[in-house]
Amino acid sequence: MRWRPCGHGTHRTPLVDSRQTVDTLRAAPQHGRREPFRDRPASTRPIRRAGAAKEGNAMLQRRTLLGAALALPAQALPAPGGGARAQAAYPDRPVRVIVGFAPGGATDITTRLLAPRLQAALGTTYPVVVENRPGGSGNVATQAVVNATPDGHTLLMGTISALAINPSLFTDLGFNPQADLTPIGLFADVLNVLVVPVDRPWKTLPELIAAAKAKPEALNYSSSGIGGAGHLGGALLDHLAGIRTTHVAYRGGGPAMTDLVSGKMDFSFATAPTALPLIEAGKLRALAVPTARRSPLLPDVPAVAETVPGFEVANWYAMLGPRGLPQPVAARLSAALREALADPQLVSALSHHGAEPRPSTPEALARFLKQETEKWRPILQASGTRPE
């Protein structure tokens, strides 16, 4: 046999003589090569089971799928329990409840009373924190929640102004409270009180009305914001009593009370949480309550309706989340809110501040929002109330 260089140092490869026939190559020993099945004795051939080829293919497919699964990143694989486990993990960080008014007002005070009880009802170590976003009669806070990720970690403590009044008061809100928010539940009814500084001469509502008639637009009244219950009270009193007074809107009940006590304002339909401590301290005088009848909290203070028939302004708060909030999360929040409102300590604390718990289902809140919006629209149109 002749040899030829292989190009790799001293190694050489055999050069097959072209005269060597194929039959000669076949006759050469084939080390390590098995004989074909057809050349083996029948007794030594392996037995093929029926369906063996299919089983082999199935095993190959399983191995291929397993290899592909192992190659996936961990986050791409579903966790045991799927969506149920993800929902059970809620909340996985602090829950923010956004309030549309400055600290010190009724919405702020009552929401801060609720926060630790809501955390306990959720059964979480993550706190429920109150975040103040004043401005636009609650519109700034509402817009923030409308734009938030719908995961249950950003909620709104809405008021009558933000949810039922502003849609009729502002021509272009940029959102629809009924369409762009997920109802969770009503929170509380909050008493308002018509109060005046103690240095003013008026001791009764008829005296205040007489003074307003004697000097049209001379008396100023403060409120926590345009479209709030305090603003509505003053506008409705003007309309039904036939007087003209001047409205001054603040960015919350706290600042409004500061200027009222200092004498810069003449009167206000203030919320009980902000007004009661000042009444008890002798800095403000209560003339009436804007409810249909007298309040057990102030039994000696008459209702406005006793002097001005048909007068009534109710003030309420409700909790909502962004549109698209998962139903299990909304249901858990609603149940936790109702559980918190059944806490005797919270009921007592709210009552001390002139608020009464008003638990409800999400469905009941949705119906209530529609009713309140439809109720106030013609009243606002008749009174001529407009953003200032």
Q: What would the 3-class secondary structure string for the chain be?
A: CEEEECCCCCCEEEECCCCCCHHHHHHCCCCCCCCCHHHCCHHHCCCCCCCHHHHHHHHHHHHHHHHHHHHCCHHHCCCCCCHHHHHHCCCCCCEEEEECCCCCCHHHHHHHHHHHHHHHHHCCCCCEEEEECCCHHHHHHHHHHHCCCCCCCEEEEEEHHHHHHHHHHCCCCCCCHHHHEEEEEEEEEECEEEEEECCCCCCCHHHHHHHHHHCCCCCEEEECCCCCHHHHHHHHHHHHHCCCCEEEECCCHHHHHHHHHCCCCCEEEEEHHHHHHHHHCCCEEEEEECCCCCCCCCCCCCEHHHCCCCCCCCCEEEEEEECCCCHHHHHHHHHHHHHHHCCHHHHHHHHHCCEEECCCCHHHHHHHHHHHHHHHHHHHHHHCCCCC
Verify that 162 and 262 share a domain, yes or no. Answer: no
Q: Quick check: is 209 in a domain?
A: yes
- Chain Cα centroid distance, residue 328: 14
Specify burial of residue 122 (Cβ count, 10 A radius: 0-12, 13-18, 19+).
buried
Verify that 247 and 302 share a domain, yes or no. Answer: yes
Verify that 295 and 148 share a domain, yes or no. Answer: no
Q: Quick check: is 48 in a domain?
A: no
Nearest residue to 152 via CA among 337, 2, 310: 337
Q: Quick check: is 256 in a domain?
A: yes
Q: What is the pLDDT of residues 147-190, one digit of tens each?
A: 999 999 999 999 999 999 999 988 888 999 999 999 999 999 99
State which residues form the domain around 332. Answer: 93-188+315-383
Indicate the Cα dihedral angle 66, 67, 70, 76, nearest 10°: -80
- CATH number of the domain bearing residue 296: 3.40.190.10
Q: Quick check: is 115 in a domain?
A: yes
Q: Are strands 192-197 and 267-271 parallel, antiparallel or unpaired?
A: antiparallel
CA–CA separation, 377 vs 171, rounded Å? 13
- Domain end call among 285, 306, 327: 306
Maximum pairwise Cα distance, the chain: 135
Q: Quick check: is 235 in a domain?
A: yes
Output the pLDDT for position 117: 98
Could you give the number of structural domains in the chain?
2
Nearest residue to 275 via CA among 264, 293, 288: 288
Verify that 205 and 172 share a domain, yes or no. Answer: no
- Domain end call among 306, 326, 347: 306
Output the pLDDT for position 297: 87
Distance between start and end Cα atoms, the chain: 110
Q: Quick check: is 266 in a domain?
A: yes
Please name every residue paired with 158 in a beta bridge, in sequence order, or none if there are none.
Answer: 318
Verify that 184 and 279 share a domain, yes or no. Answer: no
- Token duo for residue 72: 């996936």
- Token duo for residue 12: 């050489």
Residues 6+ away with beta carbon under 8 Å from 66? none
Nearest-5° angle of CA 123, CA 127, CA 129? 135
- Domain end call among 306, 324, 349: 306
Q: Quick check: is 85 in a domain?
A: no
Q: Quick check: is 41 in a domain?
A: no
Verify that 264 and 223 share a domain, yes or no. Answer: yes
Q: pTM for this one?
A: 0.70
Output the pLDDT for position 84: 44
Output the pLDDT for position 87: 52
Verify that 262 and 221 share a domain, yes or no. Answer: yes
* 372 and 160 Cβ atoms separated by less than 8 Å: yes
Which residue bears the tokens 């919320």?
271
* 152 and 322 Cβ atoms separated by less than 8 Å: no
* 267 and 219 Cβ atoms separated by less than 8 Å: yes
Output the pLDDT for position 299: 93
Verify that 211 and 298 share a domain, yes or no. Answer: yes
- CATH number of the domain bearing residue 156: 3.40.190.150
Verify that 208 and 297 share a domain, yes or no. Answer: yes
CA–CA separation, 274 vs 254, rounded Å? 7
Output the pLDDT for position 254: 86
Residue ranges in the chain modelled with pLDDT below 50: 1-56, 58-60, 62-86
